[in-house]
Amino acid sequence: MLNSDNNLDADESFHLALKYMNQGDQEAAILHLKNVLDDKPGHGQAMYLLGALHADLGMYERATEELTKAVEMVPEINAAHFQLGLLHAMSGDVDNAISAWEALKSRSDSDPYRIFASGLEKLCDDDFEGAAAKLKHGLSINSENDALNEDMARILAEINSTTSQTIGVDESPTSEAQSKESVSKMFLAAYQQDNDSDPN
């Protein structure tokens, strides 16, 4: 089916979206992904990439909706489950974050997404030491996805910063709500470091 606006079919638009993403042209990539979804509403990969781009733009609510649809359409995409969980964690919704990562537990023990998700679950449970160990393990074996490593390295740095600041400080009881807020701020701070860095 041809799109009447630009005479490109869904497959052509999808490949152009990938090209523009590689070139860092988010606007063009989003336009082409929307064209794909206009022609093929069930195109799970396009929905996933659109959600990922909106997350990069800081449009977290829209990204969460799109990634939720993406994991229903293409449950085999590990990155979609992982990033959906990360977005939920950033908003403080720990239960839905863990639910999103549940699908990764059936993956290989050496799958970086499974290892990183396990670490982030420990972080959501305030197990900073366990979280750091898992993230370090994931970083040591993930040689294929540099961008993922950069994101996880930033969260690891946030963990190290938080734990170093609490050494020697008397611990006081914290409510579950306060704990969730602290964790969500840690996820968000690490995520925004990437999005706020502008080479220009």
Helix or strand (DSSP H, E) at 16: helix 10-22
Tell me, what DSSP letter sits at residue 175? -
What's the confidence (pLDDT) of residue 144? Answer: 87
What's the confidence (pLDDT) of residue 7? Answer: 80
- Distance from C-alpha of 69 to C-alpha of 58, rounded to nearest angstrom: 18
Residue 172 has pLDDT above 60, yes or no: no
What average pLDDT does the segment 87-101 reach? Answer: 92
What are the b/e assignments for 136-156, b being 16+ CB within 10 Å? ebbbeebeeeeebbebbebbb
What's the confidence (pLDDT) of residue 1? Answer: 37
Residue pLDDT, tens place only, 34-79 = 999 999 999 999 999 999 999 989 899 999 999 999 999 999 999 9
**Percent of the chain's residues with pLDDT above 70:** 79
What's the confidence (pLDDT) of residue 92? Answer: 86
> How many Cβ atoms sit within 10 Å of the Cβ of residue 185?
14
Residue pLDDT, tens place only, 104-162 = 999 999 999 999 999 999 999 989 999 999 999 999 999 989 989 998 998 998 888 87
Per-residue DSSP letters for 27-88? HHHHHHHHHHHHH-TT-HHHHHHHHHHHHHTT-HHHHHHHHHHHHHH-TT-HHHHHHHHHHH
* Sign of torsion over alpha carbons 65, 66, 69, 70: negative
| Cα distances (Å, whole numbers) of residue 121 to 5, 22, 88, 130, 149 | 45, 31, 12, 10, 17
* Stated pTM of the model: 0.80
- Distance from C-alpha of 75 to C-alpha of 120, rounded to nearest angstrom: 20
Band (191; pLDDT cuts 50, 70, 90)? low
